[in-house]
A and B are shown apart, each in its own frame.
Chain A
Amino acid sequence: MKALILGFSLSLAALLPAQAAVTPPDDLVRSVTGEVLEIVRSDRDIQGGDTAKILALVDEKVLPHFNFRRMTMLAVGRDWRQATPEQQAQLTDAFRTLLVRTYSNALTQYRDQVIEFRPLRAGAADTTVQVRTEVRQPGAQPVAIDYVLERTDAGWKVFDVIVAGVSLVTNYRGTFTQEVRTGGIEGLIRSLENRNRELAEGAARS
């Protein structure tokens, strides 16, 4: 019996490194989108717009695969350098809340679209790859949605989503730069936090 347990734990130990091996970026995107959309498709509450439930789903399944610090840096742009580490953390936090809140709502719109993955063009040594997908919907033009991932110690992390050629992250740069110009980094943090508060209150009311 002891030997059996020992053998079992040994084989488990042998298995562990294999499990820790990094999931390839395209497989990662495929499994996460597949899993999330499967849940959305079968959950009436989510389709009906149950914000709390959607946020919980996104929090659990989607967020671990994103690098929000890099996303925020790209959205803020040049002004990121003059932000203190505390301000950078505040910005990252506020921007994550905004993105999660607004784009989670988009999930409720999901009905009969089909996601097609286009072949991945990347070498084994690449540390940044773009996973390209096409969302098809009968009677409408297909929409290209690309996920840009970077390799980190904790596996591949998404740091940009490109919809129809438009980076949802860098598209914020124009407005963010404007905010920093008028109110400094603090002004941008305040604007983001105000917006998040408005959205939270709006969600609580509805």
Chain B
Amino acid sequence: MKKRLLPILRAGALACGVAVLSGCASTPRNPDDPLEGFNRAMFTFNESVDKAVLKPVAQGYDYVAPKPVKIGVGNFFSNLADPWIGLNNMLQGKPAEALSDWMRFLFNSTFGIVGLLDIATPAGLPKHDEDLGQTLAVWGVGEGAYVVLPFLGPRTVRDAAALPVDLSGNQAWRLDHVSTRNAFRALDVVHTRAGLLGADRTLEESTFDKYAYLRDFYLQNRRYKVHDGNPPIEYEDFNGAAAPVAPPLLADAAAASVGRLELIDPTAPGPPGNGPGLQLEVTKR
């Protein structure tokens, strides 16, 4: 049964992938979200956990902690993440960025008083955003299905698989002293949540399907990070009845991303994360 279904599924996925590429979404189900049923359940669960515990704690922290403390906490955890970010830059073949990240760690850990101050950014060493999921993407690993993890929230299958390694690579999350480590983890989570409090209302009001909005936001944002801020963007014209004309938009950004795409996965039939690569991923599972 399974064997007979597979070629059909694959052909369907290919057709759908081609359809998506040509801009025609013909399947009723969201191709980016084959696990939607499970995901929606997990999303609801996470929302209730957030509402009952995390958000009130984050609001308390936000109210109690003075601004310099919050900035210090943010810098502190940001600093502890830099060595791992540097390693990922190295693994992605970007040694200059990697060196910059490690220099940041050195400067901020010493002159920046164990990372409470970020003196590296004004000194010309910008903060980067890398993780193992992005490294795997650069190596050509497809993102896989979208999945909402309990407590941890949205991921792709690829990023979920990389997550345990990512967490153990973060200095704050692997201290030997158990109670300090747990306190650090809790503070890190609460601080991060507090930083998102301002977006809550906008998110709540701006959409009639928060789950779908967040999913699309997460996936787009991940692809953007994988492309280091130069994702291919194209605006169609839906005014005429004729086939959409691709406007000559952002030629340089597009050219840059094409260069990157070729580095990422020369065998992919289209831009990664834009359809076919993902489709095939999904059916293989």
Contact = CB atoms under 8 A, between A and B. Distances in A.
Contacts, number: 106
Nearest to A81: B238
Interface residues of A, number: 44
B25 A177 contact: yes
Nearest to A173: B216
Given A73-B238, A103-B202, A142 B127 contact: yes
Interface stretch (B42-50, B134-142, B217-225, B276-284): B217-225
A9 interface: no
Given A139-B74, A141-B129, A165-B223, A81 B241 contact: yes
Nearest to B211: A175
A78 B24 contact: yes
B195 interface: yes
A191 B209 CA distance: 11
Interface in B233-265: 233, 235-239, 241, 247-250, 252-253
B187 to A, nearest CB: 13
Contacts of A166: 216-217, 220-221, 224
A121 B252 contact: yes
B37 interface: no
A20 B209 CA distance: 43
A40 to B, nearest CB: 14
Given A128-B247, A171-B220, A139 B75 contact: yes
Contact of A73 (B72, B198, B239): B239
Nearest to B222: A165
A109 B221 contact: no
A165 B129 contact: no
Nearest to B76: A139
Contacts of A109: 198
B205 interface: yes
A159 B239 CA distance: 15
Contacts of B74: 138-140
Interface residues of B, number: 51
B168 interface: no
Contacts of A87: none
Given A105-B201, A130-B253, A162 B233 contact: yes
Interface of B: 23-25, 28, 30, 70-75, 78, 118, 127, 129, 195, 198-199, 201-202, 205-209, 212-213, 215-217, 220-221, 223-225, 227, 229, 231, 233, 235-239, 241, 247-250, 252-253
Given A165-B227, A166-B224, 20 more contacts: A73-B238, A77-B238, A78-B23, A78-B238, A101-B205, A105-B201, A106-B198, A106-B199, A128-B235, A128-B249, A140-B74, A141-B78, A165-B224, A167-B220, A171-B213, A171-B217, A175-B208, A175-B209, A175-B212, A178-B212
A191 to B, nearest CB: 6
Given A165-B231, A167-B220, A76 B238 contact: yes
Contact of A175 (B207, B225, B248, B252): B207
A196 B251 CA distance: 37
A138 B71 contact: yes
Given A109-B198, A171-B217, A175-B207, A78 B250 contact: no
A178 B252 CA distance: 33
Contacts of A101: 205
Contacts of A191: 208
Contacts of B25: 78, 177
B235 A174 contact: no
B127 A141 contact: yes
Interface in A140-178: 140-142, 144, 148, 159-160, 162, 164-167, 171-175, 177-178
